[in-house]
Amino acid sequence: MQRTLLLTLLVGMLCLSAKAQLSDDFSDGDLTNNPSWQGDVGNFIVNEDFELQLMAPDAGSSFLYAPFNGFDSLEWNLDFKMDFSPSTSNSLVIYLALDDIDLASANGYYLTIGENGSDDAIRFHKLSSGSSEELAMSSLGSVGSQPAQARIKIIYDENGLWTFSADYNLGNVLLDEFQILDNSHDLTGNLIFGLECTYTATRVDKFFFDNILIQEITPDNISPEVIQANLLDDSSVEVFFSELINEDDLVDVSKYSINNGVGNPDNVQLDPGNLTRIILNFDNTLPQGVENLLTVFPVADLAGNLSDESTFPLFIFESPSAGDLVVNEILFDPYSGGADFVEIYNNSDKLLKTNELIISNLAKDEFDAIELDATLMPGEYLAITNDRDHILETYQIEDASRIIENDIPSFNNEDGNVSIQFEKNGVVTTIDSFDYEEDFHYVLLDDTEGFSLERLSFNTETNDRNNWHSASSIVGNATPGYINSNFITAGELSDQFELSNKVFSPDGDSQDDLLIINYELDGPGYLANVKIYDDKGRLERNLYRNELLGAEGFVKWDGVNELGEIARFGIYIVWIEVFNPDGQVSRCTKTCVLAERLN
- 578 pLDDT exceeds 80? yes
Average pLDDT over residues 441-467: 89
Average pLDDT over residues 526-555: 86
Question: Which of 9-13, 278-282, 285-289, 480-484 has the lowest average pLDDT?
Answer: 9-13
Question: Which of 118-132, 226-240, 463-477 has the lowest average pLDDT?
Answer: 463-477
Kindly indicate the confidence band of residue 8, based on its pLDDT and cuts at 50, 70 and 90.
Answer: very low
The pLDDT of residue 12 is 32
| Cβ neighbourhood burial of 2 (10 Å; 0-12, 13-18, 19+) | exposed
- 10 pLDDT exceeds 50? no
The pLDDT of residue 599 is 46
The larger pLDDT score, comparing residue 466 to residue 102, is at 102
* DSSP secondary structure string for all residues of 250-286: HT-GGGEEETTTTBS-SEEEE-TT-TTEEEEE-SSPP
Q: How far from 100 is each of 4, 97, 232, 248, 468, CA to CA, in Å?
A: 11, 9, 56, 45, 88
Asked if 126 and 148 count as a contact pair (C-beta separation under 8 A), the reply is: no
Give the model confidence (pLDDT) of 475-502 as tens digits.
Answer: 889 999 999 987 876 544 447 888 888 8
Give the model confidence (pLDDT) of 167-179 as tens digits.
Answer: 999 988 899 999 9
| The one-letter amino acid at 275 | L
Average pLDDT of every residue of the chain: 89
- 546 pLDDT exceeds 90? no
Instruction: Give the highest mean pLDDT range of 347-351, 442-446, 507-511.
Output: 347-351
- 358 pLDDT exceeds 50? yes
- CATH classification for the domain delimited by 8-216, as one of 3.40.50.300, 1.10.10.10, 2.60.120.200, 3.90.1150.10: 2.60.120.200
Give the model confidence (pLDDT) of 205-217 as tens digits.
Answer: 999 999 999 999 8
The CATH fold assigned to 317-487 is Immunoglobulin-like (2.60.40)
Average pLDDT over residues 93-109: 96
Distance, CA of 572 to CA of 112 (rounded, Å): 99
The yes-or-no answer to whether 317-487 and 489-599 have a common fold is: yes
Domain ranges (residues) in the chain: 8-216, 226-314, 317-487, 489-599
- 64 pLDDT exceeds 80? yes
The pLDDT of residue 489 is 63
The pLDDT of residue 490 is 52
Please give the distance of CA 24 from its chain centroid, rounded to a whole number: 34
Question: Which of 139-143, 218-222, 239-243, 353-357 has the lowest average pLDDT?
Answer: 218-222
Q: What DSSP state is assigned to residue 402?
A: G
The pLDDT of residue 273 is 78
What proportion of the chain, given as a percentage, has pLDDT over 90?
68
Average pLDDT over residues 335-362: 93
The pLDDT of residue 13 is 31
The pLDDT of residue 192 is 97
Give the model confidence (pLDDT) of 116-147 as tens digits.
Answer: 888 899 999 999 999 999 999 999 999 999 99
Distance, CA of 161 to CA of 14 (rounded, Å): 30
Number of residues written out for the chain: 599
Closest CA to 279 of 224, 225, 245, 235: 235
Q: How far from 88 is each of 78, 120, 550, 588, CA to CA, in Å?
A: 22, 10, 89, 104
Q: What DSSP state is assigned to residue 447?
A: -
Neighbouring-strand partners of residue 585: 579
What proportion of the chain, given as a percentage, has pLDDT over 70?
95
Task: Supply the CATH classification number for the domain 489-599.
Answer: 2.60.40.2550
Task: Write down the architecture of domain 226-314 according to CATH.
Answer: Sandwich (2.60)
The pLDDT of residue 597 is 64
Give the model confidence (pLDDT) of 398-413 as tens digits.
Answer: 999 999 999 999 999 9
The pLDDT of residue 149 is 96
The larger pLDDT score, comparing residue 21 to residue 212, is at 212
Q: How far from 262 is each of 47, 115, 266, CA to CA, in Å?
A: 55, 55, 10
Helix (H) or strand (E) holding 98: strand 91-98
- 52 pLDDT exceeds 50? yes
Average pLDDT over residues 314-332: 92
- 526 pLDDT exceeds 60? yes
